[in-house]
A and B are shown apart, each in its own frame.
Chain A
Amino acid sequence: MSGRLLRLAVIGTAAGAFSALFGVGGGTVIVPLLILWLAYEDREATGTSLAAIVVIAALAAGAHGLYGNVDPLAALLIGTPAIGGVLAGTALQQQLPERFVSGAFAVLLVVSAVVLVLS
């Protein structure tokens, strides 16, 4: 197994573990690790993280679906405006400085850490 493949495997495992432990989406783990550990450019890290989230969320939703806990109509009601939002967000990201994602994530992670410790 190449070093790069091993790192990707570790990132996937970490994303799954942190989402199981803290209920945070994998993205908060995947994006920083792709940037800091695999030398991804910021935008590439976000696009690749979203692809990973499709798989992670689909597997988890499938597992929850077996217990009848998924409400597809509710998912559509919140998901439809969110699809509009993600189209706008990805388009806007292309106009922002290249290192915007790193800066935004630095703030987001500090807030998340504070919430975690105070909770």
Chain B
Amino acid sequence: MEAADLIGLLVIGLAAGVVSGLVGVGGGVLFVPAIVLFLDETQVRAEATSLLAMVLVAAVGAYRQGGYGNLRLRDGLIVGLLSPVGVGVGTVVANEVPERTLQIAFAAVQLFFAYRLARRALRPPEAAPTET
């Protein structure tokens, strides 16, 4: 491994961690291309390896958020333990519905969430009515 690869890993890894801590995502979107580029892994191996890195980062992040009083551990564990059911559902759906349809449907859901979250962000907390 060359020095440039090591610097790349450091910079992208650090950035992925900051984003993960700030908004509560795993950082895989950044890990996977960094592993492919700087460690010469195949896409499949990079995705699998990224998951292990995510375990480390998310564990440290969740632990710290627990210290800040921002963790509902029981809820998080329920969501996590139910995810394999979703993987099964997703695999079945992927075989039944055209990929393009799925992409457009998911993009629409994301835009709806974005609209609701933007409205929430622009409204001061004390003026916000009770969320339903």
- Chain A residues with a Cβ under 8 A of chain B: 5, 8-9, 11-28, 30-32, 34-36, 38-41, 43-61, 64-65, 67, 69-72, 74-94, 96, 98-110, 112-114, 116-117, 119
In Å, the complex CA distance between A114 and B14 comes to: 25
Cβ of B60 and Cβ of A86 under 8 Å apart? yes
Interface status of B3 (Cβ within 8 A of chain A): no
A83-B90 in contact given A25-B25, A57-B51 (Cβ < 8 Å): no
Cβ of A74 and Cβ of B77 under 8 Å apart? no
- Chain B residues with a Cβ under 8 A of chain A: 9-29, 31, 34-35, 39, 41, 44-45, 47-62, 64-66, 68, 70-73, 75-91, 93-94, 102-104, 106-108, 110-111, 113-118, 120-123, 125, 130-132
Query: From DSSP, what is the main secondary structure of chain A's interface residues?
Result: helix
Query: What would be 6 A-B contacts, judged by CB atoms less than 8 Å apart?
Result: A12-B82, A31-B23, A31-B24, A47-B65, A49-B25, A102-B121
